[in-house]
A and B are shown apart, each in its own frame.
Chain A
Amino acid sequence: MDNINFQDRIDEYLLHDETMSEEEKVQFLKEIEEDAEKKEQYEFTKNVKQAIVSRGEKLKAMTEFQKEMKSHYHRKTWLWISSIAAVLVIGFFAINPLFVENSPTDNVRGDENDVFEMTAPADSIDTDSISSDTITSLHK
């Protein structure tokens, strides 16, 4: 029980020394200097506190590093996806005109001037639009 009570005093000194008067602090330090076992307990607690604080801070930082790693990975994935999409879109527009220019004309009937070389039917009259230029003749 004495051990537990002394542990309370060590904790008080290490964690809340602002609540102790200068006199109490001096008395406490004197006590541990005079008793090897108490000094060992004090040094041990000091090390435990230091180790736990160091571990706690590192774990906290590592949680942040892990988040950063994940968001970096997501950013990278999105960058890849957008790059691939951009390449596909640019590729489509680059290749498309080639297809239009080289499009086959086999499925179009006749030649370019075929419509103007039609022979007028036998029953056609002079003013038929097929055999003559109707606009010019009307002006005449």
Chain B
Amino acid sequence: MRTTQQEKEARLVAGMYDKNRKIQSELYAYCSKYFWANYRGVFFADEESATEIFQNTFIAMWENIERRKIYVSDGRVMGKNNEPLSGSILTYFMGIARIKYLEWVREQPTYADPETEMGRKIKEEGFDAQQYINMLYDSEDNKMLDIIADVISHMSERCCEILSKFYYEEKDLDTILLEIPTIGSKNALKTKKHKCMESLRTSARNIYHNYLNS
């Protein structure tokens, strides 16, 4: 027996996978309302950081739907091992948000607030890499792509800017140099881009090795 909420969530996940623009927007609003009403009880972050965590969480969930890590079968939202999700997709969403928060705290440890559930957990147990790996990297094919997508979400702002302009907007180095005048020359920009790629590669490799060892 399926509940109205399960039916609604199945419709949203299926529509998201089918690239239905209206349903994508509906799922965004559904997750957004829940996140902003509940995140303070789960972790502590200022509004700007919470916005960033929300964005990265939604992108991760969207990519999980695209790669069929969660999908709809027989009117139910299915997850790992082809089993129905144990809770609602909002619980799943907040699960990813917790992991994104852990990543954020690792970068800014002073923000681990002992007053919140997550803050206490971090102080007492530290960062659980296994939980991180299970949630984000459980697809069967091209795990490296999953890992890279995740590492990109917490790259430095400057690297993010350069690589986005180069690979997403497909701008050449001369154009990027005009748009980022703080970089002195084309060679400096080229070196910076190379360093960004190398640091991304090192992080992704480390996570990949941890994944293989786990």
Interface residue ranges, A against B (CB under 8 Å): 3-4, 7, 11, 15, 43-45, 47-59, 61-62, 64-66, 68-69, 72
| Pick from A4, A47, A57, A62: contact of B28, CB under 8 Å | A62
Residues of A contacting B163 in the complex (Cβ-Cβ under 8 angstroms): 48, 52
Task: Verify A62–B58 contact, CB threshold 8 A.
Answer: yes
Task: Verify B167–A52 contact, CB threshold 8 A.
Answer: yes
Minimum CB–CB distance for B191 against chain A, Å: 8
Docked complex Cα distance between A68 and B142 (Å): 34
Task: Verify A65–B152 contact, CB threshold 8 A.
Answer: no
Task: Please name the 7 residue pairs, one residue from A and one from B, whose CB atoms are nearest each other, closest first.
Answer: A56-B168, A65-B28, A51-B149, A52-B167, A49-B167, A65-B25, A47-B145
Minimum CB–CB distance for A1 against chain B, Å: 10
Interface residue ranges, B against A (CB under 8 Å): 24-25, 28-29, 32, 55, 58-59, 62-63, 66, 142, 144-145, 148-149, 152-153, 163-164, 166-170, 190-191, 194, 197, 200-201, 204
Task: Verify A7–B152 contact, CB threshold 8 A.
Answer: no
Task: Verify A52–B168 contact, CB threshold 8 A.
Answer: yes
Docked complex Cα distance between A7 and B63 (Å): 27
Residues of A contacting B153 in the complex (Cβ-Cβ under 8 angstroms): 55
List 26 A–B pairs whose Cβ atoms lie within 8 Å, in order of A's numbering: A4-B190, A4-B191, A7-B197, A15-B167, A43-B144, A44-B144, A44-B201, A47-B144, A47-B145, A47-B148, A48-B163, A48-B197, A51-B145, A51-B152, A52-B164, A53-B167, A54-B63, A55-B59, A58-B62, A58-B63, A62-B55, A62-B59, A64-B25, A65-B25, A69-B25, A69-B28
Docked complex Cα distance between A51 and B163 (Å): 11
Task: Verify B24–A55 contact, CB threshold 8 A.
Answer: no
Docked complex Cα distance between A57 and B169 (Å): 10
Residues of A contacting B59 in the complex (Cβ-Cβ under 8 angstroms): 55, 58-59, 62
Residues of A contacting B32 in the complex (Cβ-Cβ under 8 angstroms): 66, 69
Do A65 and B29 contact each other (CB < 8 Å), given the known contacts A44-B144, A48-B163, A51-B148? yes
Docked complex Cα distance between A126 and B55 (Å): 101
Residues of A contacting B29 in the complex (Cβ-Cβ under 8 angstroms): 65, 68-69, 72
Do A61 and B24 contact each other (CB < 8 Å), given the known contacts A54-B149, A55-B152? yes
Minimum CB–CB distance for A59 against chain B, Å: 7
Residues of B contacting A72 in the complex (Cβ-Cβ under 8 angstroms): 29
Residue of B nearest to A8 (CB): B190
Residues of B contacting A61 in the complex (Cβ-Cβ under 8 angstroms): 24
Pick from A7, A47, A59 the residue with the most CB of B within 10 Å.
A47
Residues of A contacting B66 in the complex (Cβ-Cβ under 8 angstroms): 54
Residues of B contacting A69 in the complex (Cβ-Cβ under 8 angstroms): 25, 28-29, 32
Docked complex Cα distance between A72 and B22 (Å): 13
Residues of B contacting A54 in the complex (Cβ-Cβ under 8 angstroms): 63, 66, 149
